[in-house]
Structure 1
Amino acid sequence: MSAGDLEALLRVTSATYRAGRPPDVAVGTYEGALGRLVLAVTAKGVVACSFEDEHTIFERLTRVVGGLVGPDARRLDPVRRELDAYFSRRLRAFTTPVDLQLATPFARTLLQMTMAVPYGTSTTTADLGARIGRPQALRAVGNALNANPVCVIVPCHRVRDRESYPGGTTALERLLRIEG
């Protein structure tokens, strides 16, 4: 979706949209090694780096985050630069702040733990479950990781024994190859 298409979508769907006003939530896309990712940034940080389509992310942002949602390349550029550096193996740790408000409280806890898993290493759902005091909750841990709204940046791909990955098996394998 181009910036013009997004602008047209916003004019029709957002009661609060005002052309020229900086959005509360900046949205756009990133084309890279994994294909298209939908990005969104709030004042707190990256709230979405997702394999889902733009309309789904826009709807979720409008419902959960609220405020004016719209294009703002200037606010997305730092995230795009870090993704470029990560995919070219020049970046091992993202420095852009993360805003996990699209995740459930349970998922937030798990996603924060995955951010502590070092580049090039991995953990398991059993380890994460044990660390939060729920060693039998393997399916709940896997489901929470699969709902990661900030994929790649919040490295749920480093949890290797899951049945699925939000971007699919090909994306998961590519991320693991990048990290060696």
Structure 2
Amino acid sequence: MWTVIDSPIGELRLVEQAGRITAIEFSPFGDADGRVRGPRDDAHPVLAECARQLGAYFARELKDFDLPLAPVGSAFQQRVWAQLQEIGYGETASYGQVAGRLGLTNAASRAVGLANGRNPIPIVIPCHRVIGANGTLTGYAGGLERKQLLLELEQDALF
């Protein structure tokens, strides 16, 4: 099941399977990627709760999501995505820092970056909080403009 919501960073498609969020997709939406989405259901309880929490996040009323998640990926990707959820609201970490937190050397930064870019549940699994070692914004599946807006939203909410 899936639904679409409006947000300050454009339309987002929320996707669930078996009662768990499996994807949050940025517009324009691509349907030829082989992902199972099923029919649209704007009233599905998990999708409605995800929409509510995202709305509260964008309104700066929610800092921690509490949703059932089921991102699909390799064991390494799962480890990276779990580590991303440890980066607090309004905080950032470099790819090398994420690698270090996984017990890997800085040489694994590229692999962390690739896993970060494959995160199917952005915002909730906060891949936007990972930046370059020198503090620069680096690639983001939703585009650097969206990444910057998300980081600014969190920074502004802290003050």
Q: What is the TM-score normalised by the length of structure 2?
A: 0.85
Give the C-alpha shift of residue 56 in structure 1: 3.6
Counterpart Cα distance in 2 of 1:125 and 1:61: 30
Aligned partners of 1:27 and 1:41 also within 8 Å? yes
Matched, 1:157 2:134: no
Alignment match, 1:70: 39
What's the C-alpha RMSD, in Å, of the aligned pairs?
A: 1.6
Bigger Cα Rg: 1
Matched, 1:172 2:141: no
Counterpart Cα distance in 1 of 2:126 and 2:116: 9
2:100 to 97, 115, 130: 130
Unmatched tracts of structure 2, length 5 or more = none
Would you tell me which structure has more helix in proportion to its own residues?
1
Identity %: 29
Q: Look up the equivalent residue of 1:142 and give its one-letter code.
A: G
- Aligned runs of 1:28-39 on 2, under 5 Å? 28-39=3-14
Unmatched tracts of structure 1, length 5 or more = 1-25, 63-68
Give the C-alpha shift of residue 172 in structure 1: 0.4
2:24 to 11, 26, 49: 49
Residues 152-172 of structure 1 show CA distances to partners (whole Å, capped at 9, x for unaligned) of 110011112163011111100
Aligned partners of 1:47 and 1:98 also within 8 Å? yes
Show structure 1 runs of 4+ deviating over 4 A: none
Give the C-alpha shift of residue 51 in structure 1: 1.8
